[in-house]
Structure 1
Amino acid sequence: MLERTWRPRGPVDVLATLSVHQRGPSDPAFQIDARGRVWRTCRPGGDPATVCIARAAGGEVTATAWGPGAAAALDAVPRWLGAEDDVAGFAPEHPVLAEAFHRFPGTVIGRTGLVMEALVAAILEQKVTGTEAYRGWMRLLRKFGEPAPGPTPARMRVIPPADLWAKIPSWDYHQAGVGPQRSRTIVTAGRHVAQLEATVGLGSAEADRRLRAIPGIGVWTSAEVRQRVFGDADAVSVGDYGLPHAVAYALTGSRRGSDELMLELLEPYRGHRHRACVLLLRAGATPPRRGPRAPVRDYRGM
């Protein structure tokens, strides 16, 4: 067991910043306990670790870690919590966005450097409901992940090693409810893991180019990965089902949006367009639902 205490240079909302890595309420790799502490498993440098992160008195953040990757994970905690985030140049003038910026001063964009973790999760979320994606993530981790080190909440697992994703049989993806297109993309990404992991030191633009060179990875998936892995405050999730409508509703009052309209509305915040989206969503500026929810599909009987 290793421990670290860190004092952020400004306000940080620990739960909001880290919760972007949680894939559903039953995520085996991410849990929030009754005391509000975040439990997160990871593989920094390839070694498994569990980290427990909590806000302490006086604005400090305490982190405790277990496992072979504990030291590397603790070193990364400040980056996870936005230590390298730079809000300079972000000066929202729209009343809704300006109010959200004022109401949520702890909103920061963290970076993990954990490419395969974010990439697999994003691929699982391609063109399916959240329920389907979370179910697949949970089943794959429970079968192929290893038990989390340390005194964790029940049934927590560590994401499989990067190269293992390419070796998971198609039948096991099928049993997890993951369709063939998404499973092929994960397998292909697993075969290029060394190239992808190398992007961490090359910057978001080069990461975007390399990610999108892999069949099955497009603009949306690349943005979702770069937001989490590189802390890219400008990576907009173009192609998202609900985001264009949320941005349009917040900034124009229109219930219907499009990618084109969203990008036009966000253009004044270039360099911080993802940050603007995060703030608008935190403020709850989303249009009311008017239609039925998308059905949850199950491939296992097919």
Structure 2
Amino acid sequence: MESGGYAPASRRPRRGPPASSPGPGRPVPEGGTADAHASAVSHVTPRVPWQSVGVTPTDPTATRELRPPPGYRLAATVHALTFSPYDPCARIAAGTFWIALRTPAGPATLCLRPAAGALVADGYGPGGGWLVERADAIAGLRDDLSGFAELAAGHPVVARLAAAHRGLRMPATGVVFPRVLRAVFEQKVTGKEAYRAYAATVRHFGEPAPGPLQPLLLPPEPAAVAAAPYWVFHPFGVEQRRADTLRRAAAVADRLQRCADAAEATRRLTAVAGIGPWTAAEVVRVAYGDPDAVSVGDYHVPNTVAWALAGEARGDDARMLELLEPFRGHRGRVCLLLAAAGIHAPRYGPRAPIRSFARF
């Protein structure tokens, strides 16, 4: 096995049935043939590398220097943009943050690196300039904390956390679909199950990202996800309900990307069958940096809020919203501070089991 965990092409095991067969349990499209089926599958697994557009892999296409405020914490701020340290699309390495995204201008990688009190943003690939232009938002430097200090002062726990984590900001990527992908996979499963599905999907559909950091993959192309039959996701541990939700969201990804603000994005997201308030909040908090987005319906957050703000070991959504109401406008920020501080309610009973739908 070569470095990076990829086998050479000559030794790489086959994944799935031969191209001439749809495989056991995989239906041939109505009115079609096995060959037509194989052609459809190849259509939804793009393999054209980004280098085909003629961009030099290791040269930035744009660079910008940012001036973060005193005490700013890059790693803590961009933590929300990574799905574990092994995220195939984003990572923090040696104090430098890398993220690969499909922008309206094309595929791109953004590198954020501290340098003598500044923050240098390097963009790679056709969309590198687009990402560099938004680098301050992605770094959380457009995060508006107006009025939060006064609200935080009203509760001793929140006031203490706001002071302890004053360098923490809320990033805004400006790109919607990658966060939809992750949020849908996180619906009603454990974190490990969600990450496995996310990573496997990215590797199945993904392409190498521009830039010198490898392996780093681009998120899947929404059109490819929308065109894929639901059973493509089955080996990744994703049942039909989540697969269909993701495919529906991918089909309207262009419209979601054009939303002007978090409120419009929330309306359009919740109009997609299978996406409710929890998923919408998870998306707009990261894509738009919405400081008021609260994940109603979360398994843990209501208990965490009730425990931290009222000393109650358990709470439901109604109680959570009641306790967060004094912080309206920054309710999501309060939840972020609680998470950053590692606060959680007492845990009772066994952990949720790790399940797999791959063989069902």
TM range (shorter): over 0.9
Q: Structure 1 residue 190: deviation in Å?
A: 1.3
Q: 1:116 aligns with which of 177, 185, 188?
A: 177
Contact 2:85 2:92 in 1 (8 A): no
Moved over 6 A (4+): none
Larger RCO: 1 or 2 (CA < 8 Å, sep 6+): 1
Matched residue of 1:43: which SS? strand
Matched residue of 2:258: which SS? helix
> Which moved further from structure 2: 47-56 or 1-10?
1-10
- Counterpart of 2:131 in structure 1 is 73
Q: Structure 1 residue 10: deviation in Å?
A: 5.3
Contact 2:292 2:332 in 1 (8 A): yes
Q: Structure 1 residue 171: deviation in Å?
A: 2.4
C-alpha separation between the residues in 1 aligned to 2:105 and 2:274?
25
C-alpha separation between the residues in 2 aligned to 1:299 and 1:136?
10
- Counterpart of 2:91 in structure 1 is 31
- Counterpart of 1:285 in structure 2 is 343
- Counterpart of 2:72 in structure 1 is 12
Q: 2:239 aligns with which of 168, 171, 179?
A: 179
Determine what percentage of the aligned residue pairs are the same residue.
Answer: 42
Deviations 1:72-119 (A, max 9, x none): 111111011223221111121211110000011112112111111111
C-alpha separation between the residues in 1 aligned to 2:77 and 2:228?
31
Deviations 1:183-218 (A, max 9, x none): 00111111112221111x2x2212111111110000
Q: 1:256 aligns with which of 305, 314, 318?
A: 314
Contact 2:205 2:221 in 1 (8 A): no
Contact 1:111 1:228 in 2 (8 A): yes
Matched residue of 2:65: which SS? strand
CA-atom RMSD in angstroms: 1.4
Higher Cα Rg, which structure: 2
The one-letter amino acid paired with 1:115 is V
Contact 1:46 1:161 in 2 (8 A): no
User: When the two structures are superposed, what TM-score results if normalisation uses the length of structure 2?
Assistant: 0.79
Normalized per residue, the structure richer in helix is: 1
Q: 2:326 aligns with which of 244, 268, 284?
A: 268
- Counterpart of 2:208 in structure 1 is 147
> Which moved further from structure 2: 285-294 or 139-148?
285-294
Matched residue of 2:99: which SS? strand
Say whether residues 1:234 and 2:292 are aligned partners: yes
C-alpha separation between the residues in 2 aligned to 1:10 and 1:180?
48
> Which moved further from structure 2: 86-95 or 283-292?
283-292
User: When the two structures are superposed, what TM-score results if normalisation uses the length of structure 1?
Assistant: 0.94
- Counterpart of 1:53 in structure 2 is 112
Structure 2 gap segments, 5+ residues each: 1-58
Q: 1:97 aligns with which of 138, 147, 158?
A: 158
Contact 1:123 1:221 in 2 (8 A): yes
Say whether residues 1:82 and 2:143 are aligned partners: no
Structure 1 gap segments, 5+ residues each: none
Q: Structure 1 residue 9: deviation in Å?
A: 4.5
